[in-house]
Each structure stands twice: as structure tokens, then as C-alpha cells.
Amino acid sequence: MGKELTAGIIGAGRIGRLHADHLTRRVPGVRVKTISDVILDAAQNCARETGIPNAEEDASRIMEDEEIDFVVICSSTDTHAAFIKEAARVGKHIFCEKPIALDIGEIDQALEEVEKYGVKMMGGFNRRFDSNFARMQQLVSEGRIGEPHLLKITSRDPAPPPIEYIKVSGGIFLDMMIHDFDMARFLVGDEVKEVYANGAVKVDPEIGKAGDVDTAVVTLTFKNGVIGTIDNSRKAVYGYDQRAEVFGSGGMVDSENMSENRVHLATGGGISEDLPYYFFVERYTDAYIEEIRQFVDAVANDTPVPVTGLDGKYAVVLGWAATKSCREHRPVKLSEIDPGLE
Ligand SMILES: NC(=O)c1ccc[n+]([C@@H]2O[C@H](COP(=O)([O-])OP(=O)(O)OC[C@H]3O[C@@H](n4cnc5c(N)ncnc54)[C@H](O)[C@@H]3O)[C@@H](O)[C@H]2O)c1
């Protein structure tokens, strides 16, 4: 590891507090100097809890601070692209939570600035850093299951977010399935050419009234011929359901849910085990730490970041393709959303 790096965090909500905690306690070689939030109380509380010396209301205090090497953007989605552009212009490396933006044009502009100013930018797809999914990807890429034929991802949340959030989130395909689209590309190691989505309202009629679905299945056709399916539900009564499988000519890899222990209780009445972790914070703690550790490592050693801006763009394009497919009841090619992605 090279010299100690100095970080600034923008946004002290759910995910900002999580990264602040990890960067201050779990990742070596970093000093977090400032956290900002438009709700100053939120920034101050987080600073107090994690020992970050400065809390600011205005993120420009981070941008204009020459000591700060990189920014971690954890504010609301609609602010990401502007912060990326601003950070790039002042020569700061960038870690940005997903999605970069909901608008593809805005993503392109942000990525152009990153390219132009030669800073590093990594997108926040934490699941790639989960030890199970990372191992699956490694085995697939080493050819251990032969030629991949089929991919299956199951991804179900324990409870839906508030309706107010659903109205601005971009919908299930851009807010929730976006992680699974990235996982699909990661596990198969190839690009999707077409998606076919089907959705229903099964969990809460209010979600339907807000113009979204809460239950969905998407079929993906990859350029290399692999066929994939992803299923999402906003409500699994047994907890956070995160499973994946890749099947190929020479075998299969899969990974099951994680829970706090591996204990089975066997009695005359049956065999039981505890429920999976409740949600993403519990299930993916180690993955979030590894994700930000690898970003810091890439900045410190001037090596490529493991998740690129283009990865971030692909996930959003897939989200829009699935949204269109679901609305129009037909397969949609990625090139319909972005003609640049043939
Ligand atoms: N990778 C993941 O697993 C994951 C999980 C949750 C959220 N996210 C993403 O992280 C982002 C934040 O989500 P969250 O759940 O933490 O939301 P949140 O609402 O809990 O927190 C967002 C915070 O950003 C602050 N904010 C808004 N505009 C700001 C600005 N201009 N400057 C500074 N702060 C500003 C808000 O006041 C709020 O405190 C979203 O883009 C979301 O998609 C990613």
C-alpha cells in the first residue's frame, strides 16, 4: 500500500453511514477528513459516531479541499452525475453508489468528464465482492463448468421500500434488479443483447398505483448464446433471498442463502434451520468492506478499478430495456435503448 489517502464522503444516509463506518474502522491506509449532507445533523451525527473530524452541509467544501484524494458519493441518485463531473474536474478519484444516474445521456456526460480528467471512477456493485459470487465467477471464468449455457438469479427483498421512494426510484428494474443485471454480466462474462421482462403486482396494490410492479421475471439473451433468468420480489417473508446458479456443458456452480449460523435442528417433526440474513446490510457487510478496500487499493497503487463506469452504464441500460419490455410485452434489444451498445 502506498501513501495514506484522504477521503471525503458525500451523503450521510443509510449507505453513506455504512461506508463511513468501514472507511474509518475497517480499511487501512485511509483517513476520512470530511462528510457532507444537505441535512447537516445527519453529517454531524455520522461524524461523531465514526470520528470523522469535519461535517459540512455543502459538498463543495470537499471538492475544494486539496488534501482530499477521493470522494465517496452516497447522496440521493439524482445528485450523482453532477458530483461525478465536479469531482473529476478537480482531479479527485470517485467511488459512486449505484446508479450513476437514471438518464443515459447524463451517465455518458459524467463518464466523458471522468475520461477527460483521467481520474478513477468505480461504481458501487457490492455483490461482486461477496465471497460466494466472487468464487462462482472465478470458477466460471476458469472454465470449470465448461461452456456456460444457463444462468439463474433469484433476488428477493424482505420488505418493499416506502411508496414515496418507489415513485422516484425508477421502478423495480432500475432500483432493485439493477444489482442482478450487474451480477448476470459478472457471472457470465459476456454482454446481454436482448431482454424480455414480465411483471405483476402481487405484494402491495399501492406499488401498482405508483406505476410500478413488485414481482418480476426477466429473461436475458447474451451475445454468446447463454440464456439467463432473474426473478425479483419486493417481499419474501423469510428474509433476503439471494441465490445464483450457472449451468454449463461441464457442470454447474451455485450459491445458497447465508444465515448467521450453519446449524440444523433435527427432531421427530422435521429438520429446520434459521432464516437467512434479513437484508443487504447484514448479508453483504463483508462484501461492502471488500468493495471499498479494493477501490482504495486501486487508487493507492494506480491500478484499474474492479467495477468501471461502463459497468454502471450497462446496468442502467438493462434496467431501461426491462422496463420497456415489461410495458410493451415484447423482447427489447439493448441497442433500442442505446444504439452505441450493439
Ligand atoms: N449498493 C447498494 O447496495 C446500495 C444500497 C442502498 C442505497 N444505494 C444507493 O445509495 C444512494 C443513497 O441511498 P441511501 O439508501 O443511503 O439513501 P438515504 O436517503 O438514506 O441517504 C441519502 C442522503 O443523501 C443526502 N443528500 C441528498 N442530496 C445531497 C447533496 N446534494 N449533498 C449531500 N448530501 C445529500 C440526503 O440528505 C440523505 O441523508 C442511492 O443512490 C442508492 O441507490 C446503494
pLDDT digits (tens, 9 = 90+) for 198-214: 999 999 999 999 999 99
Residue 1 has pLDDT above 60, yes or no: no
pLDDT tens figures, 261-273: 999 999 999 999 9
Cα angle 182-313-332, degrees, rounded to a multiple of 5: 75
User: Which H or E run contains 168?
Assistant: helix 163-169
Mean pLDDT, rounded, for 252-280: 96
Q: Which atom of ligand 1 is nearest to the CA of 78?
A: 41
| Nearest-atom index, ligand 1, CA of 77 | 41
Query: For the chain, give me the number of helices (H) and strands (E)?
Result: 14, 15
Query: Residues 287, 130: contact at Cβ < 8 Å?
Result: yes
Residues 246, 248: Cα–Cα separation, whole Å: 7
Q: Which pLDDT belongs to residue 79?
A: 97
d(CA 193, ligand 1 centre) in Å? 31
**Taking a C-beta distance cutoff of 8 angstroms, is the pair 63, 86 a contact?**
yes
Between CA 46 and CA 326 the distance in angstroms is 40
Choice from 21, 22, 54, 76 to test ligand 1 binding pocket (greatest atom count within 8 A of CB): 76
C-alpha span between 144 and 28 (Å, rounded): 34
User: pTM score, two decimals?
Assistant: 0.97
CA of 83 to the centre of ligand 1 (A): 13
Closest residue by CA, ligand 1 atom 21 = 13
pLDDT of residue 2: 62
Give the tens place of pLDDT for each residue, 156-166. Answer: 999 999 999 99
Q: Per-residue pLDDT tens for 37-61?
A: 999 999 999 999 999 999 999 999 9
List pLDDT tens digits, range 224-236: 999 999 999 999 9
Q: Residue 139 C-alpha to ligand 1 middle, in angstroms? A: 34
Distance 35 CA to ligand 1 centre (A): 13
pLDDT range class, residue 141, cuts 50, 70, 90: very high
| Pairwise CA distance, residues 200 & 214, whole Å | 6
Residue-wise pLDDT for 171-203, tens only, equals: 999 999 999 999 999 999 999 999 999 999 999
Q: Using the atom order of ligand 1, give the atom closest to the CA of residue 169.
A: 43
Best of 14, 19, 56 for a ligand 1 pocket test (most atoms within 8 Å of beta carbon): 14
Q: Among residues of the chain, what percentage have pLDDT more than 70?
A: 99
| pLDDT at residue 340 greater than cutoff 90 | no
Q: 84 phi and psi, to 5 degrees?
A: -60, -45
Closest ligand 1 atom to Cα of 124: 1
Quote the pLDDT of residue 314: 98
Q: Please say whether the dihedral angle defined by the alpha carbons of residues 204, 205, 210 and 214, taken in this order, is positive or negative.
A: positive
Ligand 1, CB cutoff 6 Å, lining residues: 10-16, 36-39, 42, 59, 74-77, 79, 97-98, 124, 126, 280
**How many angstroms separate the alpha carbon of residue 75 from the centre of ligand 1?**
4
Give the mean pLDDT of 88-111.
97
Give the containing element (helix H, strand E) for 87: helix 80-89
- pLDDT beyond 70 at 109: yes
CA 226–ligand 1 middle distance (angstroms): 34
C-alpha cell at 83: 458530483
pLDDT value of residue 341: 82
Counting residues of the chain whose pLDDT is more than 90, the rounded percentage is 98
Ligand 1 centre to CA of 15 (Å) is 6
- Tell me, what's the pLDDT at 3? 78
